[in-house]
Amino acid sequence: MFRSLLVANRGEIACRVMRTAQRMGIRCIAVFSEADANALHVDLADEAHPIGPAPARDSYLRADRIMAVARAAGAEAIHPGYGFLSENADFAEACAAAGIAFVGPPAAAIRAMGSKAESKALMVAAGVPVVPGYHGEDQAEDRLAAEASRIGFPVLIKASAGGGGKGMRPVLAAADFLDELAGARREAKGAFGDDRVLLERYLQKPRHVEVQVFADSHGHTIHLHTRDCSVQRRHQKVLEEAPAPDLAPALRERLHEAAIAAARAVGYVNAGTVEFIVEGEDAFFMEMNTRLQVEHPVTEMITGLDLVEWQLRVAAGEALPCREPPEASGHAVEVRLYAEDPAAEFRPSIGTLTRFFGPGQRQGVRMDTGVRAGDAITPHYDPMIAKVIAAAPDRRMALERLGGALAETQLGGLTSNLTFLRRLVAHPAMVAGELDTGFIARHAAALIPPPTEVPEQALAAFAAVYLERLRYDRQGASPWDSCFGFRLFGAGEELLLLRDDVRLRRVVMRRRRGTTDVTVDGGAPIAVAADLSAGLRASVNGVWHRVPFTLDGDVVALAFGGVDHTLRLVDPYAPIGGDAAAEGRLAAPIPGRVVQVLVAVGDRVARGQVVAILEAMKTELRITAPADGIVAHLGCAAGDSVEEGTEIVTLAPLDEGAAPA
C-alpha cells in the first residue's frame, strides 16, 4: 500500500479521502489556493502546500503546480477527488510519466468516455442502448438545427466534453434553438474549454438512474447496485438514493449488465459510474463518469463498504476484495446542502458561515463536509456546504431519519437550501417514490412557496433573546451607553424594527414589574422571558423554545420551531427613501463575469425581460427587469469582471401611460 497520498482537490471530497487514507496509515498531502489557506482540508492534512491564487484555473486546475508539489513532497499516489482534474486524461498520463499512481482509471478510458459523442459510439458497438440523437463532428449551426428538426422537438442540447449539467439546455420549440445553442456553447466553453455539443431526444418524464461499477487490473469487474439521482435543479443533482426504488427486477438486471459491458468496453479500472435515462421499461446509456461520484455515500451505506479504500487498494495493484456484488441492505438517501437561494432560481450565494452545526451522532446518519463555522463560501468554487445522508431498513424510514437530521442541522450567515431540503424529503410525492427529473419543477409551489410573514411568536422570541444578549454583552457599561429605556416612572419600552420577506415589522418590548410583554405590529401582548444560561432560550406565553440566531451586519438568521427565517434589522433613524432610490438599479448579486448585455441605453424593457447574463460559480445567472422601464445607464460591458453590488443596468420608470416596446 502507498505510504503517501496527495489529494488534488479541496473541500468535502478532500476531507473525505484523507479520513480514509489516514485510517489506513497513509500520509496525506494537501494543496490549497489562496482562498483556502485556512480551510478544513488543510488542517486535516499531514502537510499542505500552496498552489496559487483563488481562481481554480490558477490553482486547482494547474496540473504542473500539483505535479511539482507531488514530486517535492514525495507523494507515491494522487487522488483527484471529483471535479477539477479528476477526468483529465493528460493529468493521468502526467502522473504515470512521473512514476506516481493515479487513483482512477487509465487515461485511455478517461478519453474514451470523456467525449459524450465518442462514448455513445462505443456503447452502440458494445450493444448498450443509447438515446436517439446526433453525435457528429459537424458543429455548424445549420447542421445542428437540421438535426434537431430531424430528431423532433423537444430536444436536449448537451456539452460533448463534460457533465454536471453545464452546457445542457432543453429546447421545446425550433424558434428557441439557436439562442439556447449559443448559451449551451458558452457554458461548455467556460466549464470545459470545449464548446462542442451533441443533441438527444428530450424525454418527457425520465428518471436518472446510475450504476456504480468497480474494476481492478486483474480482469474483474462488478457492479455495486443502482442509485436514483432524478431529483435535480438546473440539471444538477439535489437528492440521491440507493438502491433506485421501484425498478422491475428484469430492468434492474439489464442496467447492471449494461454498466458492466460499458466498463469492459473501455478497459476500465477503479471506481466509475454508468448513468442511464430510464422511462418506463426503456433504459438508455447517457454517460460514464470516470471518477468517484458525489453521491457515493449512499452506496457505502447500503453495502457497508468504504469505496475510497477500494480505490486506493485497486490503484496499488490489489484485486477487488470480492468477485460478486455484496448484497444491498436497506435503503439510503442523500441530500446536498448548498449555499443558494431556491426562491431566486437556486442562485448561488456567498458569505461567511457564522453558524453551522450538523445532526448529532445517531444511528444511520452521516454528514460529509469540508467547512466549519467561520469559513467563507466564496464565488470561486462550487457552493456545496455539506452532504447529509441517512440509511435505514426501508426507504420510508430512511427519509424520516434524513428529515430528523435536517431538522437538527443549523446554519447562518448566508442563504441556503436547508428549508427547501426539509420540505423535499417530507413531500408526499417523494415519500411515494414518484420520481423523475421534473420533480422539483412540478412541485415548486409546495417546495418553494411564496414569501410569508415571520410568525409573531418567532419575532417575540427573537426580541427577548436578542435584547437580553445585548444587555449581557454591555454589562458594566455606563447607563448612558446601554439605552434600555430606563424610566423613573412608568414602563420602559424597547423598539426593534425588522424587515422580513414581506414587510416591515414593528416589535415593541415593555418591561413591567415581574413581567415582560411584547407586541408585534400593534397586536395582542405576548408574555416573554429570556434565558441565556443554557444557550439562547425564550419563553413565549409560558412555552420554552430554543432560539438560535446569528447576526451578520444587519442580517439576522433565526431558527424557531424548526423553521429558518431571515430578517434585517432596520435603523429607525435612517433616512427615509433609501430603498426606493435604488429600485431601478440592477446589480450583480455575486462576483462574476458579464457574458452578455442584451440592452442599450434608451431601450424599453418589460418586466421579466433578460437584460444581461452573468457567469458566476459555474452557473449562468440571468439578470431580469423587475418592472417595465427604460434603460437609463449601463454599468458594465460583456467580458467585464464584476464584484457583488456592481451596477449592471439601471432602469428609469416609463412615462405615465407608455407601454414597453
Residues 6+ apart with CB under 8 A from 5: 17, 21, 26, 27, 28, 29, 75, 76, 77, 78, 79, 103, 312
3-state secondary structure 456-517: HHHHHHHHHHHHHHHHHHCCCCCHHHHCCCCCCCCCEEEEEEEECCCCEEEEEEEEECCEEE
C-alpha–C-alpha distance, residues 370 and 304, integer Å: 23
Chain centroid offset of residue 657 CA: 44
Is residue 519 classed exposed, middle or buried when 0-12, 13-18 and 19+ CB atoms within 10 A define those classes? middle
Based on the number of CB atoms within 10 Å of its own CB, is 474 exposed (0-12), middle (13-18) or buried (19 or more)? middle
If phi over 0 gives left and psi between -120 and 50 gives alpha, with beta otherwise, what is residue 163?
A: beta
**Phi then psi for 36, rounded to 5 degrees?**
-110, 20
Q: DSSP letters of 277-301? A: EEETTEEEEEEEE-S--TTHHHHHH
How many other CB atoms are there within 10 angstroms of residue 186's CB atom? Answer: 17
Residues 226, 244 contacting (CB under 8 angstroms): yes
What is the residue type of 613?
Answer: I
User: In sequence order, what E strands does 47-107 have?
Assistant: 47-52, 77-79, 101-102
- The bridge status of strand 27-33 relative to strand 47-52 is parallel
Annotated active-site residue 291? The verdict is yes
Please identify which of the residues 196, 227, 291, 401 carries the catalytic annotation: 291
Distance (Å, whole) CA 274 – CA 283: 12
Contacts of 328 (CB under 8 A, 6+ apart): 225, 242, 243, 302, 303
Kind and range of the H or E run holding 145: helix 141-151
Dig out the grid coordinates for 56 from the structure: 481554480
The answer to whether residues 660 and 628 touch, using CB atoms and an 8 Å cutoff, is yes
Catalytic residue IDs:
291
